[in-house]
Amino acid sequence: MNAADNRLDITHNYIGGVWIAPSTATTADVFDSNTGEVMGSAPLSDGRDVERAVAAAENALEGWRNVSGRDRAQYLRAIARELEARHDQMASLIAREVGANAAISAGSQTLTPVMSFDIAADIAETYAFTESLGDNLIVREPIGVVGAITAWNFPLHLVTVKAAFAIAAGNTVVVKPSEVAPLTAAVFAEVLHTAGLPAGVINVVFGNGPDVGEPLVAHPTVRMISFTGSTRAGRRIGELAAQKVAKVALELGGKSPLVILPDAPFEEAVRFGVEDLLLNNGQRCDGYTRMIVPRDRLGEVEKLAADMMSTRRVGPSSSEQNEIGPLASQAQKDRVRSYIETGIHEGAKLVVGGPEDPELTEENRGGYFVRPTVFSEVTPEMTIAREEIFGPVLSIQAYDDVEDAVRLANDTEYGLAAAVYSGDRDWALAVASRIEAGMISVNGGGMDIRAPFGGYKQSGLGREFGHFGFEEFLEVKAVRLPA
């Protein structure tokens, strides 16, 4: 990597424990989401670089899988400590690449990766890879070479949550980070090198989906693909992987509902929903983008949501005073504004916000900022009720009774996350049990990364985090013994 004048240019891939020049001379610019200015670049590699990386991972596999879980844990903890040492650098990069505000850039964007390696280390140390069942031994073994393809919204976390648990289970990995936000992946590769991870256990190849992602998925040596991104891209990965019957773990889109029951503390519930939605500027697959409320309280909810959204400070992610930063790219800004315009065109009630640019200082007018927006009277057939927007846009839907609320909550092709708010915990749990989603918050319950992360329906296949994520990377073998 070359770093100068607050710019970071990635010039090589990290393969087999060394930095190797890519096979192509083509690069892609990386833009500062706050200003629209170029802040770095990364290679656009191709299938030849994938071949090198997979070969390095395959060469490292036999040695790594035979390292004991306890010894693997020591490497994982060394990586966690190096990530901690690079915290400020990582947070600064993420604030610029993705637009995440200061609180989340220095918080979950950079602290969760450390926790992933520490938790994976704890599991590797204590996990029973072999157990008895009657006259059988049940053996869990590494799958082999894993391809990890990640999205841009949590560029460090999505790489590390895959890599940490995969190598803890004894696999080796080839990572393809997003070309939109690749810079933290390069720093992560430096972390691996400094921590002394054996060569080839984790490899990083920079590039786009068609030229790097697809060759990685299709490679005959790659036995599993772990992917985070759009449902459309997930379908394509599933098609390619099916041709060689490889395992896939897919963490895809969401259109998550927050159901506020009639007896809920409304101000508390609406605040919970708004704060969750705005986390990472709305650039989350599991954010509560649909607020489902009693019809006779619709006006009250509109006012609460409008007051909470309109008072949030929008501005550069470098300032701790700003609660909402920019989106990650011009393409993402255009996409979100298009959805806002579609909502207006299809007849949703615009409560606050809109497609116009927010007021900004002169030096930040080139950034990818959008206005936090609330729609009400959103009906199930509207585009903004059905498609993932990935920005600070809230859709409020009204229900007539609880049966209607459950029907609205489940009226989506997705099933990643949901939330229920009630004054009666048992009632909230009863309603939560009827919602088709992989993760459900009850009365403001927060995320625990030891618990499984993943969804139903077209939100994906498999789970990440904790024991559930660890076991995704293991094959199960039955060894039959004589009685």
Same domain? 15 vs 72: yes
CB 411 within 8 A of CB 248: no
Same domain? 330 vs 194: no
Which of 82, 97, 214, 251 is catalytic? The answer is: 251
Angstrom CA distances, 110 to 91, 107, 178, stand at: 6, 6, 17
Same domain? 196 vs 306: no
Same domain? 261 vs 243: no
Same domain? 271 vs 229: no
Class of residue 297 by CB neighbours under 10 A (exposed 0-12, middle 13-18, buried 19+) = middle
Same domain? 152 vs 284: no
Sign of the Cα torsion 455, 159, 472, 54 reads positive
Tell me how many domains the chain contains.
2
Same domain? 244 vs 319: no
Whether 454 maps to a domain, the answer reads no
Strand partners, 250: 227, 461
* Residues contacting 128, CB < 8 A, separation 6+: none
CB 281 within 8 A of CB 326: yes
For residues 126 and 119, what is the distance between their CA atoms, to the nearest angstrom? 11
Whether 15 maps to a domain, the answer reads yes
Whether 197 maps to a domain, the answer reads yes
Whether 423 maps to a domain, the answer reads yes
Whether 275 maps to a domain, the answer reads yes
Same domain? 170 vs 264: no
Same domain? 105 vs 225: yes
Same domain? 264 vs 408: yes
Q: pLDDT in tens for each of the 483 residues of the chain?
A: 666 568 899 999 999 999 999 999 999 999 999 999 999 999 999 999 999 999 999 999 999 999 999 999 999 999 999 999 999 999 999 999 999 999 999 999 999 999 999 999 999 999 999 999 999 999 999 999 999 999 999 999 999 999 999 999 999 999 999 999 999 999 999 999 999 999 999 999 999 999 999 999 999 999 999 999 999 999 999 999 999 999 999 999 999 999 999 999 999 999 999 999 999 999 999 999 999 999 999 999 999 999 999 999 999 998 888 999 999 999 999 999 999 999 999 999 999 999 999 887 776 678 999 999 999 999 999 999 999 999 999 999 999 999 999 999 999 999 999 999 999 999 999 999 999 999 999 999 999 999 999 999 999 999 999 999 999 999 999 999 998
Angstrom CA distances, 96 to 11, 90, 161, stand at: 20, 10, 22
Same domain? 67 vs 191: yes
- Residue 339's domain is classified under what CATH number? 3.40.309.10
* Residues contacting 385, CB < 8 A, separation 6+: 255, 290, 378, 379, 395, 397
Q: How many residues would you count in the chain?
A: 483
251 is catalytic: yes
For residues 161 and 169, what is the distance between their CA atoms, to the nearest angstrom? 13
Same domain? 324 vs 247: no
Domain extent, residue 162, equals 2-252+459-479
- Residue 229's domain is classified under what CATH number? 3.40.605.10
Angstrom CA distances, 393 to 2, 116, 313, 448, stand at: 38, 30, 15, 25
CB 237 within 8 A of CB 357: no
